[in-house]
């Protein structure tokens, strides 16, 4: 039996672990925090992931999530349009969803090392050596599920870390009278803000902006009042909402550049393998899908000696390209329609004037049921 270590306890890492343990393959998940905890995330799951979650006992039926079937899109000046989401999705916080899957993974027998950060991974003579906290661990397979950007990316000298990304993500949970079936995507100068209901009567508000914008105003509250409030939708939300965090969750240097799916034999999944632009709203579903693809190949690798490491890596790269490469490319290009007055106004006018085009753009950012 091969020893498998998964670095990172987000959706991709947790679901990979659950699938392995269900196949009788022990694995260890190393996570630098303790559950539950917040992550900067849009907290919307496309229904493309629902069949998989239900078939594997991982759909959060006991959590009061929201059901979403409509997109409200507004320009920087508040011009708006509503677009039906044919596939739809559900809203749930990462705080609740990750913790639910973590507890299910524990129940099924997955081993966890929490409050432990992996500082280095080396591959030599067909095995990995990891530095995890004060321990040195050895593994036959290592899965990288450590999210959008981590210190490990830098220590591994991954190509995308050589160039600083200008994007910053900011997230709040609020209480506000927001339509439960609607996900809002509201533009402001230099960025856009998503808002949708999650569990327990709460609403997630998460936006992406340029770090130079924040530097210009010195702090987040002043930036929000000066820039986000130019959109009347956002001004009303910020004035009427009860903010539930003492301070927002933030993450710097979010990148949408192409990433290597296999890095010195380490198998990347979720955001560590590639991140779709937040406006497409499918990062959580893609993380779940990538975990499904990788875990299926890992099960074959463990049980079939003819399925070599080289075949494993090649098969995973091919599967990733087939399912996600075009979606990521589309997301990067569609993002150009957002975050600027003329571009966001054009996007709203386009959606208003041609419903089929609007629906097609939405469909292009979604995958198929899996």
Spatial distance between the Cα atoms of 192 and 186, rounded to a whole number of angstroms: 6
In a domain, residue 140? The reply is yes
- The tens digit of pLDDT for each residue in 43-79 reads 999 999 999 999 999 999 999 999 999 999 999 999 9
Which residues of the chain fall below pLDDT 50?
Answer: none
In a domain, residue 169? The reply is yes
Tokens of residue 36, six digits: 């539950």
Closest to 71 (Cα-Cα) out of 340, 281, 333: 281
Which stretches does DSSP call E strand in the chain? 4-7, 27-30, 44-46, 66-74, 80-91, 111-113, 118-124, 127-132, 135-139, 141-144, 167-175, 182-188, 191-197, 203-210, 242-243, 249-254, 262-263, 266-268
Burial of 118 (0-12, 13-18, 19+ CB in 10 A): buried
In a domain, residue 67? The reply is yes
What pLDDT is attached to residue 191? 93
Range of the domain at 233: 4-364
In a domain, residue 22? The reply is yes
What pLDDT is attached to residue 281? 64
Q: DSSP assignment, residue 324?
A: I
In this structure, what CATH number is given to the domain that contains residue 13?
3.50.50.60
Q: Residue with structure tokens 């999705």? A: 89
Compute the residue count for the chain.
Answer: 370
Give the count of domains, the chain.
Answer: 1
Beta bridge partners of 82: 72
Spatial distance between the Cα atoms of 214 and 295, rounded to a whole number of angstroms: 40
Spatial distance between the Cα atoms of 285 and 281, rounded to a whole number of angstroms: 9
In a domain, residue 369? The reply is no
In a domain, residue 183? The reply is yes
What pLDDT is attached to residue 367? 81
8 Å CB contact between 105 and 17: yes
Q: Helices (H), strands (E): how many in the chain?
A: 12, 18
| Ordered DSSP codes for 218-239 | SSHHHHHHHTGGGSHHHHHHHH
In a domain, residue 109? The reply is yes
8 Å CB contact between 35 and 102: yes
Tokens of residue 232, six digits: 């009347």
Longest dimension (CA), the chain: 62
What pLDDT is attached to residue 359? 79
In a domain, residue 370? The reply is no
């Amino acid at each position: 039996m091969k020893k498998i270590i998964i670095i990172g306890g987000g959706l991709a890492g947790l679901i990979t672990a659950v699938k392995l343990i269900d196949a009788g393959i022990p694995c260890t998940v190393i996570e630098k925090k303790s559950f539950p905890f917040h992550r900067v995330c849009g907290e919307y799951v496309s229904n493309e992931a629902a069949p998989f979650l239900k078939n594997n006992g991982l759909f959060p039926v006991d959590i009061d999530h929201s059901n979403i079937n409509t997109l409200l899109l507004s320009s920087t000046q508040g011009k708006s349009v509503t677009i039906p989401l044919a596939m739809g999705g559900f809203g749930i916080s990462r705080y609740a969803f990750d913790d639910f899957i973590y507890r299910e993974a524990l129940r099924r027998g997955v081993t966890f090392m929490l409050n432990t950060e992996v500082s280095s991974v080396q591959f030599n003579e067909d095995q990995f050596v990891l530095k995890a906290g004060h321990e040195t661990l050895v593994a036959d397979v290592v899965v990288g599920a450590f999210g959008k950007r981590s210190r490990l990316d830098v220590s591994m000298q991954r190509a995308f870390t050589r160039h600083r990304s200008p994007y910053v993500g900011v997230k709040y949970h609020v209480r506000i009278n927001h339509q439960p079936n609607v996900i809002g995507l509201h533009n402001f100068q230099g960025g856009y803000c998503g808002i949708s209901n999650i569990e327990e009567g709460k609403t997630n508000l998460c936006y992406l902006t340029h770090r130079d914008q924040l530097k210009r105003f010195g702090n987040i509250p002043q930036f929000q009042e000066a820039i986000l409030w130019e959109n009347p939708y956002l001004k009303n939300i910020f004035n009427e909402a009860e903010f539930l965090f003492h301070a927002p969750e933030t993450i710097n240097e979010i990148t949408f550049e192409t990433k290597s799916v296999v890095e010195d034999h380490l198998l990347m999944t979720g955001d560590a393998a590639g991140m779709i632009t937040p406006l497409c709203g499918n990062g959580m579903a893609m993380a779940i899908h990538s975990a499904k693809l990788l875990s299926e190949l890992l099960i074959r690798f463990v049980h079939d000696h003819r399925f070599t490491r080289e075949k494993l890596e090649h098969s995973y790269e091919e599967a990733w390209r087939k399912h996600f490469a075009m979606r990521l490319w589309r997301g990067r290009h569609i993002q150009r329609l957002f975050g600027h007055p003329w571009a966001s106004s054009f996007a709203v006018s386009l959606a208003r004037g041609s419903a089929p085009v609007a629906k097609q753009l939405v469909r292009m950012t979604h995958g198929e049921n899996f």
